[in-house]
Structure formats: C-alpha cells, structure tokens
Amino acid sequence: SQQGEEDPQALSIQEGENATMNCSYKTSINNLQWYRQNSGRGLVHLILIRSNEREKHSGRLRVTLDTSKKSSSLLITASRAADTASYFCAPSGFQKLVFGTGTRLLVSP
C-alpha cells in the first residue's frame, strides 16, 4: 500500500477564487482518487482518474495526473463556501487505499 501526500496542508481563499491542491506519491499506481470530508462527516468520493488518463473533469472539479512525476492536482474552480472541507488523495495500485492527512480548505464568503 502507499500513501498520498497532500500539499498544502491548509488553504484559505475567498469565494469565487480557484483552489488548487496537490498530491504526490511514491510507487506506480492503477488509479488515483480524490475524496472530500466535511467536518464531522464521512469521506465522499469526488473523482477517480486512471493511470492512462492525464486529465479528468467533473463539474467544477478538474484533476490532472502526471505519472512520470508521480503527482496529481485537484482544481476547484469558482469556489463556494460549501467547498470548505478537507480533501484527501488516495493513490491505488490494487492495494488497500491509504489516506494522507489531507488539505484543509477554507472558503470565506
């Protein structure tokens, strides 16, 4: 199993701005997933990108994957206060998911 490392640990922005979070990992993967956790709630799956994909979109979310650099980024465009949460990446190589410490995003009105 392997763990993704999210960067930055915390991010504070204003509503309407874009938020970018990064994830690095160490070994080869089959896919990489991003999850969101609102305070006091369980994790919610946002998006899964496979190792043969370079970019994927879902609504206001854009995920990129660079397997040569073993890194991924999550971009949230036109952020809203409701996007305030912790965001986790989970690289997967047919092994159990290991979640990092996440990026805490605060979006102020």
| Contact call for residue 73 and another protein (CB under 8 A) | no
The DSSP code for 80 is -
Q: How many CB atoms lie within 10 A of CB 39?
A: 8
Which is closer to another protein, CB of 7 or CB of 13?
A: 7
| Contact call for residue 50 and another protein (CB under 8 A) | no
Rule CB under 8 A: which of 11-30 touch another protein? 30
DSSP letter for each residue of 26-42: SS--SEEEEEEE-TTS-
| 26, 45, 54, 80: residue in contact with another protein (rule CB under 8 A) | 45
